[in-house]
Chain A
């Protein structure tokens, strides 16, 4: 079946540290991959996406590369800020015969301390 596995949290980093949140997936066909972010008390917001192998999605200093050979879509940021504290979800859609349904990972909570 289709699934997303992401790094367990919580993750606590100091401001300006380097961030990596691992995400791997299992899917049939050629899915699109996403990172969504959920700030406290808010809904899910799209952070970045990639629709085919070797594509790199980027936004607000975050980036992730669609690696088909390792079925991965790891999220990285070179220098985190306190305002990046949130829960991050890796997701996929467009797997074979699943239409637009999204499959989400369990989320990784990030806390950035000053």
Chain B
């Protein structure tokens, strides 16, 4: 596709539910990032993939958060037993391997946990 796409765009979950957020990066982009953006804040790094390998997951806030990219393209961010503090916009970004440094962002998934 022309850009990074994410689904769903909006998700409402009851506290304790599991959710799965999907990211389709730009075709051919090797690296993929997940960020969490709280209301009124800048995006904060969660995790990073190069192809199917998860090279950095230092930003995941708890072991309830899990991300995967099994075939090196589409990625899923899963949040288990959601809590109200998980409410945020979850952004996905991809980057070529060219080293230009520019990340291309998807529109985000807005998660609201009630």
Contact in complex: A100, B107 (CB < 8 Å):
no
Residue B65, interface by CB 8 Å = no
Contact B55 A34 (CB under 8 A): no
**Which of chain A's residues have a CB closer than 8 A to the CB of B45?**
101-103
Cβ of A81 under 8 Å from chain B? no
User: Helix, strand, loop or mixed for chain B's interface?
Assistant: strand
- Pick the contact of A43 from B40, B56, B102, B105 — CB < 8 Å? B105
Q: Map CB proximity to B onto A84-108 as digits: 1 under 8 Å, 0 otherwise.
A: 0000010101100001111111110
Interface assignment of B103: CB less than 8 Å from any CB of chain A: yes
> What is the CB-to-nearest-CB distance from B9 to chain A, in angstroms, rounded to a whole number?
9
The yes or no answer to A59 lying at the interface (CB within 8 A) is no
- Give A9's nearest chain B residue, CB to CB: B40
**Shortest Cβ distance from residue B21 to the other chain A in the assembled complex, whole angstroms:** 14
Minimum distance in angstroms from B102 CB to a CB of chain A: 6
How many Å from the CB of B37 to the closest CB on chain A? 8
**Chain A proximity mask over B95-110: 1 for CB below 8 Å, otherwise 0:** 1000001111111100
